[in-house]
């Protein structure tokens, strides 16, 4: 069987298991089986797929059909221009979350305007948000935390691999492990409703429940995040969190209730509310 036929077979089998991207997923998985990057796979359409590679490829397609994220099968996911190791210890980084990084980068004090700015990334998971900020702004001291020791191990490995140095990483729920004061706190907490989480996990998604399940309305974590962040931020410091697309108003209200000013809701590339940010005491920079 040649590459073209293998891709047709794989993307046909994936169909509904890879909404929107069965062909892309098939090309990534065939690339994994052949030891080729995706563009090389597409350039090799007429070539024969060796039998051993075809067997591996069909096994990968089978795993994907059972709901396993492609990123777990590949062992990595691209985020904000860098490649993160991922496995079932952590949520797979989503493209939507790049908006959290962009918002965070805008909220940080400009380089050279103050002492070394400090930023904390809570619920860090793979580390993708905190590591992206540290990579884009080497002058900022970034720390990470997560309630999962397993996730922190992977986040620390990603920090070392992508930054060439370790970031301070501590185990703790919400912001309990963070040692302030900070100029910026970011978080992508679990915010999927419990009912939808149940549905995703039953559908074969192997991501950790604790990275998805935000309780009945998905809003369980935000009051603690806002209150604890307020206490840990310096005057003029900011909090930015990722949210579900229907949670903008509710989370903005939680921020205001915790004392934040200049509360803004930001939309992602699909036009959905995705990030809420607020400033302590609304001091303008």
| Residue 158 or 188 having the CB closest to ligand GLN | 188
| Residue 212 or 229 having the CB closest to ligand GLN | 212
Tokens matching residue 135: 């990579």
Min. distance of Cβ 101 from ligand GLN in angstroms? 14
Alpha-carbon distances, residue 22 vs 56, 61, 64, 65, 68 (angstroms): 17, 10, 10, 10, 13
How far is Cα 134 from Cα 285, in angstroms, rounded to an integer? 21
How far is Cα 178 from Cα 160, in angstroms, rounded to an integer? 20
| Residue 53 or 252 having the CB closest to ligand GLN | 252
- Which residues would be at the binding site for ligand GLN (CB under 6 A)? 91, 94, 96, 188-192, 212, 242
Residue 281 phi/psi, 5-degree rounding, is 65, 5
| Residue 27 or 226 having the CB closest to ligand GLN | 226
Min. distance of Cβ 56 from ligand GLN in angstroms? 28
| Residue 58 or 94 having the CB closest to ligand GLN | 94
- The alpha carbon of 182 is separated from its chain's Cα centroid by a whole number of angstroms, namely 21
DSSP one-letter code for 45: T
| Residue 199: strand, helix, or coil | helix
Min. distance of Cβ 54 from ligand GLN in angstroms? 32
Min. distance of Cβ 200 from ligand GLN in angstroms? 7
User: Checking DSSP bridges between strand 260-267 and strand 273-280, what pairing results, if any?
Assistant: antiparallel
Min. distance of Cβ 205 from ligand GLN in angstroms? 8
| Residue 96 or 171 having the CB closest to ligand GLN | 96
| Residue 96 or 220 having the CB closest to ligand GLN | 96
Min. distance of Cβ 120 from ligand GLN in angstroms? 17
Min. distance of Cβ 242 from ligand GLN in angstroms? 6
- Token pair 């052949």 is found at 34
- Token pair 């929107």 is found at 20
For 29-65, letters b (16+ CB in 10 Å) and e give bbbbbbebeeeebbebeeeebeeebbebbeebbebbb
| Residue 9: strand, helix, or coil | helix
């Amino acid at each position: 069987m040649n590459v073209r036929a293998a891709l047709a077979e794989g993307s046909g089998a994936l169909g509904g298991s890879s909404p929107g991207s069965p062909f892309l997923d098939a090309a990534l998985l065939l690339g994994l089986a052949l030891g080729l990057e995706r563009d090389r796979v597409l350039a090799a359409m007429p070539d024969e797929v060796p039998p051993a590679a075809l067997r591996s490829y069909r096994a990968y397609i089978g795993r994907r059909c059972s709901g396993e994220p492609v990123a777990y099968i590949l062992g990595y996911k691209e985020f904000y221009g860098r490649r993160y190791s991922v496995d079932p210890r952590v949520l797979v980084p989503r493209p939507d979350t790049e908006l959290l990084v962009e918002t965070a980068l805008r909220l940080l004090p400009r380089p050279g305007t103050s002492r070394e700015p400090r930023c904390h990334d809570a619920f860090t998971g793979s580390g993708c948000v905190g590591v992206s900020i540290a990579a884009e702004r080497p002058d900022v001291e970034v720390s990470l935390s997560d309630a999962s020791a397993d996730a922190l191990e992977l986040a620390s490995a990603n920090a070392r691999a992508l930054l060439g140095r370790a970031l301070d990483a501590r185990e703790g729920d919400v912001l309990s492990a963070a040692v302030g004061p900070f100029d910026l706190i970011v978080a992508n907490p679990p915010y999927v409703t419990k009912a939808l989480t149940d549905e995703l996990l039953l559908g074969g998604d192997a991501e950790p429940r604790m990275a998805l399940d935000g309780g009945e309305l998905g809003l369980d974590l935000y009051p603690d995040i806002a209150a604890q962040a307020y206490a840990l931020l310096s005057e003029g410091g900011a909090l930015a969190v990722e949210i579900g697309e229907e949670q903008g108003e509710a989370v903005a209200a939680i921020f205001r209730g915790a004392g934040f000013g200049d509360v803004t809701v930001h939309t992602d590339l699909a036009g959905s509310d995705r990030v809420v940010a607020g400033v302590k005491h609304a001091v303008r920079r």
